[in-house]
Amino acid sequence: MEGSSGKSILQFAPFQSSVDEGFWHRLSSLKLNKFGIDDSPIPITGFYAPCSHSQVSNHLTLLAESLPSDSSEESEVPEISRGNRNRCSAPGILYNTNTVERFHGLDKQGLLKAEAQKIWEDIHNGRALEDSSVLSRFLLISFADLKKWSFHYWFAFPALVLDPPATLVDLRPASQCFSLEEAESLSAAFNEWRNSSLTADVPFFLVQIDTNSHATIKHLKDWETCQSADGHKLLFGFYDPCHLPNNPGWPLRNFLALICSRWDIKSVHFLCYRENRGFADLGLSLVGEALITVPQGGRDHPYVPNAVGWELNKGRKIPRGISLAKSMDPTRLAISAADLNLKLMRWRALPSLNLNSLSSLKCLLLGAGTLGCQVARTLMAWGVRRITLVDNGRVAMSNPLRQSLYTLDDCLNGGEFKATAAVNSLKRIFPAVEARGVVMAIPMPGHPVPSQEEQTVLNDCRSLHDLIDSHDVVFLLTDTRESRWLPSLLCANTNKITITAALGFDSFLVMRHGAGPFSSSHDSKAEAANSLSADMSNLGLTDRDGGKRLGCYFCNDVVAPIDSTSNRTLDQQCTVTRPGLAPIASALAVELLVGILHHPHGIFAEGDVLNSSNSESSEQPLGILPHQIRGSLAQFSQMTLVGHSSDSCTACCSTVVSEYRKRGMEFILQAINHPTYLEDLTGLTELMKSASSFELDWDNGTDEDDDDCV
């Protein structure tokens, strides 16, 4: 590349700014919690680095740490760790106004001149030689509209204007200006300078090359010793953020003003230091020669040159603006923060995680007690945003310690309805949740209905039917067996994903119900048509030919559900369990749901057993997908089981579902009022009669070999 043969005015590439969102977050916090209406100037720190790419310039960047800490009592420059080769610190000043009118009315030229005067004073009093970063001093004015979370701002990078301007004699790549020995020595010297914690972020320096082609980099304060060395090449170097091949970067302007003012040098050889992958790149770096003239009175301290430096916005002298409503409004910020863990899962652990499917999933929780509270919280942690809770109970004084969504206030004045209090609590925890509470009793077999209440019970049945039909997933979390019967029937009829969690004193059962008896292509297509989520509609639409259906909660029973609440002592009326049991069962219930959603066969997936030989299960992103999980705190153990559907099940067999489809509410009312009706319908009555007709012959003989058998 040929250098410029003629003289022309030296032109500089302007600094460019970049503001990280964290800066605005910190500024908003300081404005709200500390500064208030105080609009005093705030010292800040910007960061830049030498150009490291042939096509991209580096910007002066503001980060959260550019501002003072929230805890500091006074507006002080934050302590910045020095020695970071990736960033040089530059001192700045922030004027944050209280109104947008004040922002537009600021004396911008006066502010720029005041900062330029500081640079000029630092040059004359020698501070710039001790800390050369002051030559890159900058100015920022801003207005923060915290109601709309929008910001107006404008950067200025004050540059002292030489009059007459500097003229360019020569400018070319540094690689063309040095011999091979000089280039090798210079590169080694630069790398040593950049790798030292004492000099890595010193942006202005002297480059000296002796007669033996040995290069040395020195501080500006060493000027006198460098000047006395005869026969040595001397260049004025600086970290150049600009990538342009024919223009030096903005920092050179104030550097030339220092050279002109303090040392009265007319011909300046400068080096624009640039890098490639962290090492000196002499092909990208530039070496130039400029002629400068000391202006009239330029060496006098009271004299202050003119200054320029307001940053252009798309070629115009206007401020910039940014809206961060999506990330800085507390509700939206809560959404972003809540999803952070889930998004990080997709990096490595679970790339197939479908957050849109989870967020659009509609979950119905039947029961807002100990299990319901825990399940709701865990669902939100998985990104589920649409939750409906059904319960007709009120919050009692004994509830808040075990049921995590309630407080003492919910117990006062007779107690708030659990469904209502739970929804209010969920919204306080996470304002973006779409939670709904339904106060409703679930009709139950074995609890006969008086004639005057029949219409109310039938309305409840219809409401429950509509709720199940409008949701994608149903959790059965009620206290009694019989309260799970009607939901199990309705879920089998509509082929809904159904999860049951039940507690004993120190044991629990968590299980997923199998697909309904008529979950063939006809009903699956109906389910897909009714689903609001395209992802949900694909779950369980593949018929598992030849595979036996998994059972529901009632498939192992040989009797119909009956009244389990009457004639009970207090400890039998309450759910008496070890306190740690419910969180375990609730977490497993939600994890079971997520496993279903990520299994290719969805609701039709076969039941996996721990340590089974089924290789397909181990290949799933979340591991095995069991049918039942039974756990015991007494033994600190749990096991996975598989139970297939029963042809005599009182809730999900084809006989019961067919009868419900034929007779509707009339069938439900008969099942509720007549305890033996379901047993007669499913053949359990005949089965029990057949069993009781057998005479069991016991071998009363003894054998010594049997003594050890139990």
pLDDT digits 0-9 by tens, 593-649:
999 998 888 899 998 887 765 545 556 778 899 999 999 999 999 999 999 999 999
CB-based contacts of 115, cutoff 8 Å, min separation 6: 93, 137, 138, 139, 156, 158, 307
Per the listing, tokens 């150049």 go with 240
Instruction: Provide the token pair at 228.
Output: 């006395």
Instruction: Please give the CATH number for the structural domain made up of 361-517+543-609+623-690.
Output: 3.40.50.720
The answer to whether residues 665 and 449 touch, using CB atoms and an 8 Å cutoff, is no
Q: Which band of pLDDT confidence, cut at 50, 70 and 90, is reported for residue 94? A: very high
Position 689 scores a pLDDT of: 79
Q: Which band of pLDDT confidence, cut at 50, 70 and 90, is reported for residue 521? A: very low
159-168 residues labelled b (16+ CB within 10 A) or e (exposed): bbebeeebeb
- Model confidence, pTM: 0.59
The answer on pLDDT for 290 being more than 90 is: yes
Contacts made by residues 348-354, CB under 8 angstroms, sequence distance 24+: 350/621, 350/622, 352/598, 352/621, 353/598, 353/621, 354/535, 354/597, 354/598
The answer to whether residues 92 and 49 touch, using CB atoms and an 8 Å cutoff, is no
The whole-angstrom separation of Cα 48 and Cα 58 is 7
The whole-angstrom separation of Cα 627 and Cα 221 is 77
CB-based contacts of 134, cutoff 8 Å, min separation 6: 91, 118, 119, 122, 127, 128
The answer on pLDDT for 538 being more than 80 is: no
Average pLDDT, the chain: 85
Paired with 42 in beta bridges are 94
Position 612 scores a pLDDT of: 61
Position 83 scores a pLDDT of: 43
pLDDT per position as a tens digit, 426-437: 999 998 899 999
Position 575 scores a pLDDT of: 67
CB-based contacts of 246, cutoff 8 Å, min separation 6: 171
User: H/E element holding 528?
Assistant: helix 521-530
Q: Which of 51, 272, 574, 649 is catalytic?
A: 574
The answer to whether residues 608 and 626 touch, using CB atoms and an 8 Å cutoff, is yes
The whole-angstrom separation of Cα 262 and Cα 661 is 98
User: Lowest-confidence range among 296-305, 546-555, 582-591?
Assistant: 296-305
Q: Which band of pLDDT confidence, cut at 50, 70 and 90, is reported for residue 509? A: very high
The fraction of the chain above a pLDDT of 90, given in percent, is 60
The whole-angstrom separation of Cα 60 and Cα 10 is 22
Mean pLDDT, range 483-497, rounded to an integer: 95
Quick one: CA dihedral 487, 489, 491, 494, positive or negative?
negative
Per the listing, tokens 């537009």 go with 104
The answer to whether residues 501 and 371 touch, using CB atoms and an 8 Å cutoff, is yes
Q: Which band of pLDDT confidence, cut at 50, 70 and 90, is reported for residue 183? A: very high
623 sits in the region (left: phi over 0; alpha: psi -120 to 50; else beta) called left
DSSP 30-70: HIIIIITT----EEEEEEE----BTTBPPPEEE-GGGSPPT
Position 180 scores a pLDDT of: 93
Return the domain boundaries, the chain: 1-69+82-328, 361-517+543-609+623-690
The whole-angstrom separation of Cα 336 and Cα 334 is 5
The answer on pLDDT for 4 being more than 50 is: no
Position 40 scores a pLDDT of: 93
| Residue 574 is a catalytic residue | yes
User: Lowest-confidence range among 83-87, 204-208, 274-278, 427-431?
Assistant: 83-87
- The helices-and-strands tally (H runs, E runs) of the chain is 23, 25
Instruction: Please give the CATH number for the structural domain made up of 1-69+82-328.
Output: 3.40.140.70
The phi, psi pair for 240, rounded to 5°, reads -100, 115
The answer on pLDDT for 241 being more than 70 is: yes
Position 447 scores a pLDDT of: 87
As a whole number of Å, the end-to-end CA separation of the chain is: 98
Over 203-218, what HEC string results? CEEEEEECCCCCEEEE
Q: How far is CA 628 from CA 135, 400, 575, in A?
A: 71, 29, 21
Position 71 scores a pLDDT of: 61
The whole-angstrom separation of Cα 471 and Cα 530 is 10
Q: Which band of pLDDT confidence, cut at 50, 70 and 90, is reported for residue 709? A: very low
The answer on pLDDT for 500 being more than 90 is: yes
The answer on pLDDT for 233 being more than 80 is: yes
The answer to whether residues 37 and 272 touch, using CB atoms and an 8 Å cutoff, is no
Label the pairing between strands 320-323 and 307-310: unpaired
The whole-angstrom separation of Cα 241 and Cα 16 is 9
